[in-house]
Amino acid sequence: MTVRYSALSLLREGLNGQRGWEPAWRDASPKARYDAVVIGGGGHGLATAYYLAKNHGLTNVALIERGWIGGGNTGRNTTIIRSNYFYPETAQFFEFALKLYEGLSRDLNYNIMFSQRGMWMLGHDRHGLEMLRRSANAMRLNGIDAELHDGDAVRAHIPGLNGTPRFPILGGLNQPRGGSARHDAVAWGYARAASALGVDIIQNCEVTDFLIEGGQVRGVETSLGTIRSETIGMAVAGHSGVLAAKAGVRLPISSYALQAFVSEPVKPCLDTVILSPATGTYLSQSDKGELVIGAGLDLYLSYAQRGNLPWMERAAAGVIELFPAFSRMRFLRQWAGIVDVVHDSTPIIGKTNLGGFYVNCGWGTGGFKAIPAGGWCLAHAMATGEPHSLASAFTLDRFRTGALIDEASASGIAH
Amino acid sequence: MLLINCPNCGPRPEIEFRCGGESHIERPGPHGEVTDEAWSDYLFYRSNPKAEHRERWVHAGGCRRWFNLVRDTVTHRITAVYPMGEAGPAEAAR
């Protein structure tokens, strides 16, 4: 049986009729008791399970997922990875995630197709340029690569930009190590690596209630029966508020639908990632050739996993303003994910007021880029009971003390 | 696309409106007596239900008046529209 992926095993299986491949992960049934349980089989949950086993030696771990792994926001985002944040706490955290991504294919023995093709933020007016300059300075102070370019350099780097735009491109901020990865591969790679270390990955298993005794969590009731554990981590993005309420924990989260689209596939025409806040455009091209387009939040609460038409139109208009040549391309698919927005757009990772119950949430519109670090820090909190030094400021308590890390305004996160 | 029945202007598409978030949030007071917990609750914590939700909307591209409505956050079905200052219909069980 072939377990490890390599050029040699590919060749051997090719000659052998592809009959020796193992399933990438074991489809497990729940045991009655685990040392730790992770709820949510998205990127953050799977990464948490993997790092519990790898970094902390906890292998009697279950990961339970209501649907199928990677079927929520991990499969619905625009797959962009970057670390262009402003405050030291968040910049260090997201930079750590980026660095883990850089070594992830090798670490997991699974090609996540991380392509560091650069990530451009465009400035369309004097004030936009000032914000870019401020952002570039902050990134460099935090030790993160950032390049500020004028309009001519932007047009030289990015072919096909509108020659007579309504919103002129005066400059751009490039993070050369930013880029995109294959989102499904991140989920599958973590699942495979976690399963190989002994983690039970249990799909189609919905948490219906929590077992609580004396302020300490004792387990969960699920659609597949009772699972006991004194340590439970939750990484369920937009459904964090609903699920935490079953544990009697309140979270300062609002859930919104965030839309994305892909066009029909075309030959390679865009070799970088573009974010233009002024035109509401977030654009890249996937390896399959589809243009991947992100829109803004539908600004009313939603758990519907589908977006509204006005935002679809606005996103398309932004793309055409930047790239008139794309005007005749057709949308292939449209969808939405339910994102967990907190007021300062900084995540919450760590303990709650319920003993043994840890959360990983508050990612808002940008959780994918943080997956390795989010899993790393939640695993640390679950295994040791203490916050990881990278996430020590990302407490739930900051909403009471007022020690917010306001990336919502500092790094110009649009929502 | 939501079709919102403005109490003043009648049914109009959602692009004419802006949502102002959860209704019936009251500022605690007097200020010197408000605990950190109560203030945090007022500023940051919302019900965020996967169910019917009471929320304020303003007809920004029309009469520019505020009103309340009850909308399901999964189906987006709007079951009631009522004026500011009124309690509205009894909440559906969650």
The CATH number for B25's domain is 3.30.2270.10
Contacts of A396 in chain B (CB under 8 A): none
**Is residue A142 predicted with pLDDT exceeding 60?**
yes
In degrees and rounded to multiples of 5, residue A247 shows phi and psi of -95, 5
Q: Quick one: closest CA in B to A403, which residue?
A: B40
Looking at the domain assignment, is residue B89 inside a domain?
no
Q: Which of A254, A302, A399 is facing B40, going by the closest CB pair?
A: A399
- Judging by beta carbons within 10 Å of its beta carbon (0-12, 13-18, 19+), is residue A23 exposed, middle or buried? exposed
Looking at the domain assignment, is residue B92 inside a domain?
no
Looking at the domain assignment, is residue B35 inside a domain?
yes
A:B CB pairs within 8 Å: 56
Confidence of residue A412 (pLDDT cuts 50, 70, 90): low
Does any CB of chain B come closer than 8 Å to the CB of residue A395? no
The owner of tokens 């952002």 is A135
What's the mean pLDDT in A222-239?
Answer: 98
Q: What are A362's two structure tokens?
A: 């508050």
- Judging by beta carbons within 10 Å of its beta carbon (0-12, 13-18, 19+), is residue B83 exposed, middle or buried? exposed
pLDDT of A171 reads: 97
pLDDT of B89 reads: 86
Q: What is the mean pLDDT of chain A?
A: 95
Contacts 24+ apart (CB under 8 A), B28-37: B36/A400, B36/A401, B37/A400
Looking at the domain assignment, is residue B65 inside a domain?
yes
Looking at the domain assignment, is residue B15 inside a domain?
yes
Q: What are A374's two structure tokens?
A: 């989010």
Contact A302 B14 (CB under 8 A): no
pLDDT of B90 reads: 74
Looking at the domain assignment, is residue B70 inside a domain?
yes
pLDDT of B91 reads: 63
Q: What are A190's two structure tokens?
A: 């973590």
**Is residue A413 predicted with pLDDT exceeding 90?**
no
What's the mean pLDDT in A159-175?
Answer: 94
Residue B92 CA, chain-centre distance (Å), reads 15
**Is residue B38 predicted with pLDDT exceeding 60?**
yes
List CB contacts of A236: < 8 A, sequence separation 6 or more.
A39, A40, A42, A45, A72, A243, A361
Q: What is the mean pLDDT of chain B?
A: 94
Looking at the domain assignment, is residue B40 inside a domain?
yes
Q: Which of B1, B36, B45 is facing A250, going by the closest CB pair?
A: B45
Looking at the domain assignment, is residue B14 inside a domain?
yes
pLDDT of A172 reads: 97
Confidence of residue A207 (pLDDT cuts 50, 70, 90): very high
Q: How many Å lie between the alpha carbon of B54 and the closest alpha carbon of chain A?
A: 11
Q: Which of B1, B19, B36 is facing A400, going by the closest CB pair?
A: B36
Which range, of A67-76, A206-215, A221-230, A301-310, averages the lowest pLDDT?
A: A301-310
Q: Summarize pLDDT for A268-304 with one digit per residue, the tens.
A: 999 999 999 888 889 999 999 999 999 999 999 999 9
pTM given for the model = 0.96
pLDDT of A1 reads: 61
pLDDT of A3 reads: 80
Number of domains in chain B: 1
Rounded Cα gap, residues A187 and A205, in angstroms: 17
**Is residue A362 predicted with pLDDT exceeding 80?**
yes
Q: Summarize pLDDT for A98-129 with one digit per residue, the tens.
A: 999 999 999 999 999 999 999 999 999 999 99
pLDDT of A415 reads: 52
* 3-class SS of residue A55: helix
Residues 227-246 of A with CB under 8 A from B: 239, 241-242
pLDDT of B93 reads: 44
A141-178 burial, b if ≥16 CB within 10 A, otherwise e?
ebebbbbbbebeebbebbeebbeeeebebbbbbbbebb
Contact A242 B19 (CB under 8 A): no
Q: Summarize pLDDT for A27-55 with one digit per residue, the tens.
A: 999 999 999 999 999 999 999 999 999 99
pLDDT of A81 reads: 96
pLDDT of B94 reads: 43
**Is residue A414 predicted with pLDDT exceeding 70?**
no
Q: How many Å lie between the alpha carbon of A148 and the closest alpha carbon of chain B?
A: 36
Cis upstream peptide for B30 (omega within 30°): yes
Rounded Cα gap, residues A48 and A231, in angstroms: 13
Range of B27's domain? 3-83
